[in-house]
Each structure stands twice: as structure tokens, then as C-alpha cells.
Amino acid sequence: MQTKIKRRPFGNTGISVSEVSLGAMNVRQLPDHASVQRFLNAVLDQGVNLIDTARSYTTKDSRSTKNDSGVFISSEDMVAKAIAAREDIDEPIVIVTKGHGYDIETFDTHFAESIEMLQIRKEADGLYIGKTKVYLVYFLHGIKADRWQPILDSGVIEHAKKRQANGDFTWFGFSSHYGDDEVIKAAIDTGAFQVCELPYNVYNLSLAEEAPLDMIKYAYDHGLGIIDMKAFNGNGTTAIFPQLANYAGFGYDEMLRFCLANPYISTVDVGAVNMEQFNADIEAALLPTLTSEERDELVQKAKRVSPYLKSICRECMHCVEEFACPVGIDFPRILGLHGRYTVSGGLGFDTSDFRNQYAAFNPAADACIACGGCITWCEYHLDIPEMMQKAAADLG
């Protein structure tokens, strides 16, 4: 496809991918299907050849199965419909999707759901959505310490490799998060995976330059294609960004360029929700590569702010993809609000409006029964019930 976006090798897969790719999780924030389709088609028009989605990226949350506009949106469904309607895509598109299949039965169930939603069919020469050939990357989503041994014991990795050999998907991958270095290394060392998705940004280098073993480089050295997620430190950074930018002294363009200056990353997965945002990402990517001195300067600026970002909810919404609060508390949004309250207060900004916003929540944070079911699904190992108590005390 015609594109001005630069491309990079995708590990040892033999293909190159656009160094700015679309993380389609956030399309569930859009008001309706038509808006999503316009956006996805505009992204494809830019020559992006990697789209990252998941079976759990839907508008399901703790309150309903719809978004704030009352419309149910499935990221996989929307991506499939956008591609299936096109007849002008003249190269394969890389589709990354994910499931929480940590045993064989769940793996097969989640995989079947994704295949159906993505409208993927198998032909003699590969996989297709509509008339477009696709390379399907299938992930074990969110591997971490308490999930790794069950994964090994279940035999699901060997099972997935057989399905890959059968042509059910093209490449096998995994995603993981901060604090799971040992599991990430163990997964890479199996030799089973060709792709991984890891968080990396100027505010948090704990898996890379600041780690005893740089996991980004380690994956690269083992031939994996590396998708950089959380380049902007997760969804929560978006809401607090004006304060962060004012204090740190740099914006999204520098944050993206920082990630792209890492030579081991194949693509940065940006979670834009409109073409104004996505075009700004493209233009930033076209700027000259940051020098090592410029990168160091950004790190030093970020360190003024990064202490305030630790142990707060990033509003990634992964917790509600597989869990619903039994008493109906919209806890991710409450904790996101409390995170912004905490950061804003730490940076010396007025916090009164956060209390006003909190007053609209019903049930409120103090209704939490501390069942702990949410903790299992937090990719950042946060003690959510304890944080709810803190939110109730600070915002109530």
C-alpha cells in the first residue's frame, strides 16, 4: 500500500510492519459503528499494515454491555467489517488478537470466538478477511506470575504450536506488563513465540533500560517482533496529560519519538480514536530520530513526574474484560478519577473538581465488599479493594 509511514522488520517473521500501528482497543469509546468504520478506513488509507485487537476489547463493563452512548461495540467485529468491505488492499494485513486461554479448553473457546468475530477463513494459500489476505498473530493475553505455571502445566503452549502448524494462525505471541520480568524471560526462552507485546514509555522503563535485563532487547535478540504498548503510559495518561505536559515540559510527539528511537521495537501501538490524533502520531514519527542526548533529556524530565504515576489505576479497563463487580460499582472509572486526583494534587494543581465528579458515582467506592475478584484481572497487580477505600476517604 502507498504510505509515508516508515516500516521496520517484524522480528524474524520475514515481513516488515508500519512503525506506527493501530491499537484498536479504544475504538469501543466511539459513539457508534459508523464512527468506528470511518476511523478504521481512514487508518487503512494511511497504509497501516498492523492492527492490534482482542476478543475482550468490547464495550462490556461493570454496568452494562454498552458504551456511554448505549451502543455495543466489539473491536474485532469492527476491524473485520472494515477490512472485509475493502477491495483495494494490495498486501496482507497483520491482525493481532488475544485470548485468556491459559488451558487448552479455554484457548480453543476463545480462539474460536475471535475467528468468528474476525470473519477469518482459511484458504489453501493462507488466511483471509474478505478479499484481503491476513497474517494472524494470536496471543496469550497478559501472562504473569500466577498464570505462568498453570499455562505450563496445561500443555496449552504445545497445543497452540500444533494449531499454528495446522495454519489456524500465522504467528504465536504473548502480552505482558510491568513487574513480570521473570515470566517474560521464561516465555521468550521457550522458543515457542514469534511476537510479544510489552509496555514501554519514557515515564516507565522498568522492563527495559532500567531493568537488570532489558526485556525489549532480550526479545529482539531472540528474534521476536516487538509491539510497544502503553507508549503513552496507558489510557489514564490521556486524562491527566495536560498536567503532565505542563510539569514535564514535553508532549505526545516527544513521547512517541522516544519509543521510536528504541531500535529494538518493531512498531508502536497507538490507541488513537480519531484521525486528528492518528495523523499527529504519523507526523511525529516522520520527524528525525531522537539522539541519545535528546532521549536522556526526556528521561530526566519524565523523572520529575513519574513518581506520581506509580500505583495508580491507568484506566486500561482490562479488569472488566473478564470480571463484573458483584455490587455494580464502576470501580475502574472511580479509580481512574482518584488517580488523576492523586497526580494533580502531587503536582500542585486544584483537585476540587475531582470530588465533584466523584459525587455522581452510584454506587460509590465505599460500597466495595472487598471480594477481591477484580485483583486477578488487574495487569498491574494493584490491590483494588484497598485503593477503593483510599478513594472513598479522599473523594467522599
Q: What is the DSSP string of 269-296?
A: EE--SSHHHHHHHHHHHTSPPPPHHHHH
Q: Which three cell numbers stand for residue 175?
A: 502480552
Residue 199: which of 240, 170, 237 has the closest Cα? Answer: 237
In a domain, 215, yes or no: yes
**CATH value at residue 202:** 3.20.20.100
**Cell numbers linked to 208:** 527495559
With b for 16 or more beta-carbon neighbours within 10 A and e for fewer, the 274-283 pattern comes to ebeebebbbe
Tell whether 282 and 374 lie within a shared domain. no
Same domain, 327 and 211: no
Would you state the pLDDT for residue 368? 96
Examine the domain organization and report whether 279 and 376 are in the same domain. no
Q: What is residue 346's three-state secondary structure? A: helix
Final residue of a structural domain among 262, 283, 308: 308
Cβ-contact 127, 118 below 8 angstroms: no
Distance in angstroms (rounded) separating the CA atoms of residues 243 and 267 = 27
Amino acid at 251: G
Count of residues making up the chain: 396
CA–CA gap between residue 369 and residue 315 (Å, rounded)? 21
Same domain, 129 and 87: yes
Do both 181 and 75 map to the same domain? yes
Q: Using the structure block, give the residue that is written with the C-alpha cell 494543581.
A: 349
- Residue 65: predicted pLDDT: 43
Q: Is residue 121 part of a domain?
A: yes
Residue 394: helix, strand or coil by DSSP?
helix
Asked whether residue 1 is assigned to any structural domain, the reply reads no
What pLDDT sits at residue 1? 82
* pLDDT at site 233: 64
Domain carrying residue 256: 7-308
- Residue 386's SS3 state is helix
Residue 327 included in any domain = yes
Number of domains present in the structure of the chain:
2
Clarify whether residues 199 and 53 are in a common domain: yes
What tens digit of pLDDT does each residue of 224-248 get?
Answer: 999 999 888 665 566 777 778 888 8
Return the DSSP state at 223. T
pTM of the model: 0.88
Identity of the residue numbered 228 = D
pLDDT for the residue 60: 59
DSSP state of 131: T
* Burial class (CB within 10 angstroms; exposed 0-12, middle 13-18, buried 19+) of 90: exposed
29 and 108 share one domain: yes
User: For position 98, what pLDDT does the model report?
Assistant: 96
H or E stretch at 163: helix 156-165
Q: Looking at the structure, do residues 304 and 330 belong to the same domain, yes or no?
A: no
Burial label, 95 (beta-carbon count in 10 A; 0-12, 13-18, 19+): buried
Neighbours of 253 (CB within 10 A): 14
User: Strands 267-270 and 225-229: what pairing?
Assistant: parallel
Q: What does the pLDDT read at residue 64? A: 36
| 2 assigned to some structural domain | no
CA separation for the pair 241, 14 (Å, rounded):
37
pLDDT the model gives residue 61: 45
How many CB atoms are located within 10 Å of the residue 183 CB?
Answer: 20
> Do 181 and 98 share a structural domain?
yes
Q: 200 in a domain, yes or no?
A: yes
Task: Say whether both 261 and 351 belong to one domain.
Answer: no
Triad 387, 370, 54: Cα angle to 5°: 75
Inter-residue contact 85 to 130 (CB < 8 Å): yes
Last residue of a domain, one of 308, 340, 373: 308
Q: Is residue 346 part of a domain?
A: yes
Which amino acid is located at 124 in the chain? Answer: A
* Inter-residue contact 75 to 53 (CB < 8 Å): yes
pLDDT at residue 69, as a whole number: 58
- Domain membership flag for residue 313: no
Single residue among 250, 273, 308 that ends a domain in this structure: 308
Which of 249-252's residues contact partners 24+ apart within 8 Å by CB, and which partners? 249/301, 250/298, 250/301, 252/280, 252/281, 252/284
Any idea what DSSP says for residue 116? H
> 204 - beta bridge partners?
201
Angstrom distance (rounded) from CA 329 to CA 320: 11
Q: Are residues 144 and 251 in the same domain?
A: yes
Residue ranges of the chain with per-residue pLDDT less than 70: 60-69, 233-238
Q: Are both 254 and 207 inside the same structural domain?
A: yes
Judge contact between 5 and 266, C-beta under 8 A: no
